[in-house]
Amino acid sequence: MRPGAPELKGVQPMATDQSREFKIIGTRPIRPDGVEKVTGRAKYGADYALPGMLHGKVLRSPYAHARIKSIDVERARRLPGVKAIVTGADFPEVKGVMAQVGELIVNTHYLSLNVMAREKALYDGHAVAAVAAVSKHVAEEALELIEVDYEPLPPVMTAEEAMRPDAPVLLDELRTRLMAHRTDPGSLEGPDRPSNVPGHIRFERGDLAAGFAAADFVVEREFTTAAVHQGYIEPQNALAVYSADGHLTIYCSTQGAFNVRTLTASVLAIPEGNIRVVPAEIGGGFGGKTTIYLEPVAALLSKLSGRPVKMVMNRAEVLRATGPTSGTKARVKIGAQRGGKITAAEVWLAYEAGAFPGSPFAPGAMCTLAPYAIENLRIDSFDVVVNRPKVAAYRAPGSPASAFACECVLDELAEKCGIDPIEFRMRNAAHEGTPMPAGPPFKKIGFAETLEAVRRSAHYQTPLAGPYRGRGVASGFWFNGGLQSSAIVNIHSDGSVSVVTGSVDIGGTRAAQAMIVAEVLGVAVEDVRPVVGDTDSIGQTDVTGGSRTALATGMAVFEAAQDAIAQLTVRAAKLWDKKPHEVKFDGGVFRSVADDGQIITLRQLAGRLARTGGPVVGRATVNAGAVGAVGNAFATVCVDVEVDPDTAKVRILRATIAQDVGRALHPDYVEGQLQGAVAQGVGWALNEEYFYDQKGVLRNFGLLDYRMPTCLDLPMIDTILVETPNPNHPLGVRGVGEVGIVPPMAAVANAIYQAVGVRMFELPMSPPRLLRRIFENRNVTVEERASAAG
């Protein structure tokens, strides 16, 4: 074993450095990529350009559901400046293979159909053809010259409609399958006939009837949440160069370069080894950039034209055709005893997948009520195809909608029991050993600690005064992704260090990796240069997503630094003509174990590597395990709102989030994750939704009408970092990126109830919806109210 290095093998419990004092971890250095990003020099996907480059644009279906009878591209082809055109006919048939992409599982057959429609267009915005031309304006003009003969079909826009037995069928081959767990292929459920419901998962334990019989109060409610978009500010982009030897290079912003390589290879039916993906800086992803859209299209256009082809979506394309998250329907029934103990819970969930199977219906079921110990439980969750864009991952995919439903019902139960909502949750809180809804027990978790942190916060301890004001709390759960990461630590001759990983940096992970290396090697963080490699310069590394990057890539980096020390120890021993075990390392200095005064700093030793055997390169790879096996995250959110009594506009007065972060590597960027998650949750709660018309055409495809929170809509967001070290991580780190988005919707709904006395069962809680509920509560309609005011 390496001297001074704890053994680290996958997710086995290990002797860790969790209890030691850190010099660098927990401090707040300036991020190493910061200057590039504040000076405009950092290169994002759309900033790349190559000599001779063409510009590609996509023609998209104006119908939600239509048979494509023919496509005539001849007029477009004759437009001067047009160099290549592709349609579905140019793409190979791809067999359905299930590929794990971050937290979601992708069927490559449907991925191919989503990239370019074949026989049917399945949503407004579905790609049907693409053009490469000498400028984007010429490409856009060419799109108008392509003639597509559509036969419109009736669209199915909601899960409820799509689940009806007489609903129009989107995909003839789909059947309903009952699954026992997330990756179970499942068995046929019900009759062998086409269905819009490809997946049904059920978790069940205890005796529901007995549980409800033992309850003093039972609350049963139905909830609806609107589809919302991840809302990254940078649209999707890809620059592809197909070379004469069959090799393909793709520059793009993505959460996972290796995913782009795997998925593009499958859609184009070419070997993965022929593709190099160079990840650009990425302008936000939130899960939405874990899959591919433009990459294979740009590649084919490049192959046909022999020129580099760059494609960049506009905002309307992003909203119409890239993955939002599911709109959902939920029915929740929960019983509790007067003293606050939950006796039974029954949850029914339906998630709209968009046009192809693959909504986060399984994680939605795995997460809802996970913060609580409930003996009698049944959760059913359904995957439902509808004529909307195929959903993509969005921050804690699946959990926010199911948590919204259950956390609102818990608030009602707490009120009926006459118990403070935090205390109510505390009395039912899951601890180490409590089984999750899917069965396995939690390891060490810090959920109760997040409740306690909010209870003790200045926010919660300060009474909220004034009319139309209310306070609400809610909690949430999400997994930590494990998966694969690789890292290389190069020791340079001047004693500086570079660390190469395959994890693109969306929110400061370069800083975290540099800090881990500096901590282990005992060097200054400024002497560590983090680099994000392309798919040929580093080993397999899964997505920056699933709350896994600081965690799992951090493990690989930690190990690679330990590996470098082990090699350096051998070099120091060689200098002193000793055995490696006679040399110890601490705080950047190698010493002889014997008291003979032999001592050399890492920096000095780095200058002598040529003489002692050549460069030192530390390396490590990890498979940190299945999603959720490596760690779990909990958060509790408290918000104060004020409701305008005339317009029902809700203002967030104050917001606090407490989250179990395990150990904060760089607290600024941990806080930033929590604050950003709350902000997205507030948008989901109050404003954001997709508006489709009767024909299934999206009407709000711009950022004026798809309204995300601005800084005028939000207060400061206070964070409380609860540190319950993750027993599966050498530094105690937990993934922090996602769980913060789970509680805010219910917290806002519960606050609105306190403010104006109405329970909201629908997201977003926009002024028209809330006003209607307020008037319903007073037994007047909006119209009567208007005429009375009139």
Partner 1 sequence: MANKVIVETNINGDPVELLCEPRQSLLEVLRDVLELTGSKEGCLTGDCGACTVVIDGRPVCSCLMLGVEATGKNITTVEGLASGTSLHVLQQKFLEHASLQCGICTPGFLMSSKALLDRNPNPTEAEIRYALAGNLCRCTGYDKIVRAVTDAAAALAGRTRPAHGTVPSETASGMAGEMLAKGEAK
CB of 231 to partner 1, least distance (A): 5
- Residue with Cβ nearer partner 1 (660 or 718): 718
| Residue 40 within binding range of partner 1, rule CB under 8 A | yes
Q: Report the nearest approach of partner 1 to the CB of residue 135 (Å).
A: 9
**Interaction of residue 688 with partner 1, rule CB under 8 A:** no
Query: Is the CB of 316 or the CB of 426 nearer to partner 1?
Result: 316
For residue 399, which of 436, 439, 435 has the smallest C-alpha distance? 436
Could you tell me which of 285, 381, 288 has the C-alpha nearest to residue 328? 381
DSSP for 611-637 reads HHTS-EEEEEEEE--STTTS-EEEEEE
Instruction: Determine if 171 is a binding residue for partner 1 (CB under 8 A).
Output: no
Nearest to 621 by CA among 500, 462, 723: 500
Provide the CA 585 distance to its chain's centre, in angstroms.
39
Nearer to partner 1, 610 or 712 (CB): 712
Q: Is 702 in the site for partner 1 (CB under 8 A)?
A: yes
Q: Are residues 532 and 501 in contact, defined by beta-carbon separation less than 8 angstroms?
A: yes
- By beta-carbon proximity to partner 1, the closer residue of 632 and 680 is 680
Q: What is the per-residue binding string for partner 1 in 395-434, x denoting contact by CB under 8 A?
A: ----------------------------------------
Q: Is 507 in the site for partner 1 (CB under 8 A)?
A: yes
The residue among 636 and 680 lying less far from partner 1, judged by its C-beta, is 680
CA distance 728 to 481: 12
Please report whether residue 690 would count as binding partner 1 according to CB under 8 A.
no
Only segment of 291-299, 445-453, 665-673, 781-789 that touches partner 1 (CB under 8 A) = 665-673
Asked if 1 is part of the footprint of partner 1 (rule: CB under 8 A), the reply reads: no
Nearer to partner 1, 256 or 437 (CB): 256
> Distance between CA 743 and CA 383 in Å, rounded?
23
Task: Centre a 10 Å sphere on the Cβ of residue 498 and count the other Cβ atoms it contains.
Answer: 17
Look up residue 351 and give its two tokens. 């998630």
Among 18, 100, 274, 314, binds partner 1 (CB under 8 A): 314
The length of the chain, given as a count of residues: 790
Nearest approach, Cβ of residue 711 and partner 1 (Å): 4
Tell me the closest approach of the beta carbon of residue 281 to partner 1, in angstroms: 7
Q: Which of 396-404, 581-589, 688-696, 707-715 is the region at the interface with partner 1 (rule: CB under 8 A)? A: 707-715
**Rounded Cα gap, residues 505 and 508, in angstroms:** 6
Identify the residue among 24, 46, 130, 345 touching partner 1 (CB under 8 A).
46
Please report where in the chains the tokens 């429609």 appear, as a residue.
117
Give the nearer residue to partner 1 in terms of CB position, either 100 or 457: 457
Q: Measure CA 326 to chain center.
A: 13
- The kind and range of the H/E element at 383 are strand 377-385
Q: Which range, of 4-12, 40-48, 126-134, 382-390, touches partner 1 by CB under 8 A?
A: 40-48
User: 10 Å Cβ neighbour count for 480?
Assistant: 29
Determine the distance from the C-alpha atom of residue 734 to the mean position of all C-alpha atoms in its chain, rounded to a whole number. Answer: 15
Interface mask (CB under 8 A) for partner 1, residues 445-484, using x and -? -----------------x----------------------
Distance spanning both ends of the chain, measured CA to CA: 82
Q: How far is the CB of 523 from partner 1 (least distance, A)?
A: 21
Which of 330, 717, 722, 751 lies at the binding interface for partner 1 (CB under 8 A)? 717
**# residues near partner 1 by CB under 8 A:** 68
Nearest C-alpha neighbor of 94 from the set 258, 268, 247:
268
Q: What is d(CA 548, CA 736) in angstroms, rounded to the nearest whole number?
A: 8
375 in contact with partner 1 (CB under 8 A) = no
Closer residue to partner 1, CB minimum distance, 640 or 723: 640
Helix (H, G, I), strand (E, B) or coil at 67: strand
Q: Does 42 bind partner 1 (CB under 8 A)?
A: yes
From the list 20, 28, 67, 78, which residue makes contact with partner 1 (rule: CB under 8 A)?
A: 28
Among 718, 723, 738, 762, binds partner 1 (CB under 8 A): 718
SS3 251: strand
Q: Which of 15, 35, 97, 209 binds partner 1 (CB under 8 A)?
A: 35
Bridge-partner residues for 352, per DSSP?
384
Q: Looking at beta carbons only, is 473 or 560 nearer to partner 1?
A: 473
Q: Does 279 bind partner 1 (CB under 8 A)?
A: no
The residue within the footprint of partner 1, chosen from 12, 710, 779, 787 (CB under 8 A), is 710
Residues 630-649 that bind partner 1 (CB under 8 A): 640, 642
Residue 640 φ/ψ, nearest 5 degrees:
-110, 135
Nearest approach in angstroms of CB 233 to partner 1 is 4
Burial class (CB in 10 A: 0-12, 13-18, 19+), 719: buried
**Which stretch in 99-107, 282-290, 440-448, 559-567 sits in contact with partner 1 by CB under 8 A?**
282-290
- Structure tokens belonging to residue 356: 């192809």
Which window, 185-193, 207-215, 340-348, 500-508, contacts partner 1 (CB under 8 A)?
500-508
Query: How many whole angstroms separate alpha carbon 733 and alpha carbon 746?
Result: 27
Tokens of 344: 């039974």
Binding residues among 212-271 for partner 1 as defined by CB under 8 A: 230-235
- Counting contacts by CB under 8 A, is residue 286 touching partner 1? yes
CA 23 remoteness from chain centre: 31
Q: Which stretch binds partner 1 (CB under 8 A): 359-367, 418-426, 480-488, 713-721?
A: 713-721
For residue 379, give the 3-state DSSP assignment. Answer: strand
Q: Which range touches partner 1 (CB under 8 A), out of 3-11, 165-173, 376-384, 667-675?
A: 667-675
- Residue 165 DSSP label: T
The distance of closest approach from Cβ of residue 644 to partner 1 in the complex, given in angstroms and rounded to an integer, is: 9
Helical H segments across 252-354, by residue range: 257-268, 295-305, 315-321
Distances (CA, A) of 107 to 112, 124, 173: 9, 21, 14
Coil/strand/helix, residue 87: strand
Is there binding between residue 676 and partner 1 (CB under 8 A)? yes
Q: Residue 49, interface with partner 1 (CB under 8 A)?
A: yes
Q: Which sign does the torsion angle of CA 89, 90, 92, 98 carry?
A: negative
**Strand bridging mode 632-643 / 650-660:** antiparallel
Is 284 a binding residue for partner 1 by CB under 8 A? The answer is: yes
How far CA 432 is from CA of 12, 334, 395, 435, 445, in Å, comes to 17, 23, 25, 9, 6
Residues forming the site for partner 1 (CB under 8 A) = 28, 30-31, 33-35, 37-44, 46-47, 49, 137, 230-235, 281-286, 312, 314-315, 462, 506-508, 640, 642, 651, 653-655, 666-669, 671-673, 675-680, 702-704, 708, 710-712, 714-718
